[in-house]
Amino acid sequence: RTPGYTHATLVRIDTDQGITGWGECHAPVAPRVHRQIVTDLLGPVLMGQNALDVEVLWDKMYSTQRLRGYQTGFYMESIAGCDLALWDILGKFTRQPLYRLLGGKYRDRIPSYASAGADPAAARKLVDEGYKTLKLGLSKGSGTNDLQRIAAVSQAVRGRAQVMVDSLGAFKLSEAVRIGHQLDALGNIGWWEDPLGPEDLSGYPRLSQEVETPICAGEELSNRFQFRDLLGSRSVDIINPDVCRAGGISETRRIAILADAYGVLWSPHVS
């Protein structure tokens, strides 16, 4: 968010057995805030503890500030960095990859998508390279021009690939319903990501009822309790929690289990 720079906060945890774990906090802006939280609040919780008690330590970190309402934002992003570092330590201690510690892998290959621009020819080239899904932004303000751009790319790859749309929380509910109907008409939109603002979770049930295009949300959420409410109201078809924002591996795993219980697809967002 600062022109010319990309920010991140890396967390390093050392053990008395000489194992070092690394984690990352989602910190696109103000990474020094995460550093202070890790140093001043979370570090004292972890020092002297058994690093292998990963989920026990997660609960201890989370509980220190829960009565103050620090359940999202910088605090959960900081916990995520520590949690990732602890899982790294556990993997190195057991000499096992993370997927093995989580119960095994279900697949050897994971589909990926490419970010695409306005040029239909460039979109076709990406499909020629093997991508089956392309992702475009749909912003507010450019209105019809943006929809025309998505329609042009959708037509260019029709029958060969899907198009996914990301609005980064740009629209009010009434606007989203109208635009959603236009996306429905295109026929090959794989999902519409974060159409509503993060403060308007209550609008998603109606949007999902009105629009046929699958709705994806969750990048802006930070814990299982928020996702419980989103899933319980049957608001979305896909969730995409950010591992470096939503409490790391430990909490994102719980969120994935919740999604499975509600029959909702889960696609990790890793920024």
Give the C-alpha separation, 37 to 136, whole Å. Answer: 35
Tens of pLDDT along 68-96? Answer: 889 999 999 999 999 999 999 999 999 99
Q: Cα 225 vs. chain centroid, distance in angstroms?
A: 15
Residue 59: pLDDT over 80: yes
pLDDT band (50, 70, 90) for residue 37 = very high
Catalytic-role residue among 7, 26, 34, 269: 269
Q: What is the pTM of this model?
A: 0.92
Burial string for 27-41 (b: 16+ CB within 10 Å, else e) reads beeebebbbebbeeb
Tens of pLDDT along 103-124? Answer: 999 899 988 899 988 899 999 9
Angle between helices 73-94 and 248-261 (to 10 degrees): 100
For residue 34, indicate whether it is catalytic: no
Give the C-alpha separation, 133 to 131, whole Å. Answer: 6
The per-residue DSSP string of 195-227 comes to -B-TT-GGGHHHHHHH--SPEEE-TT--SHHHH
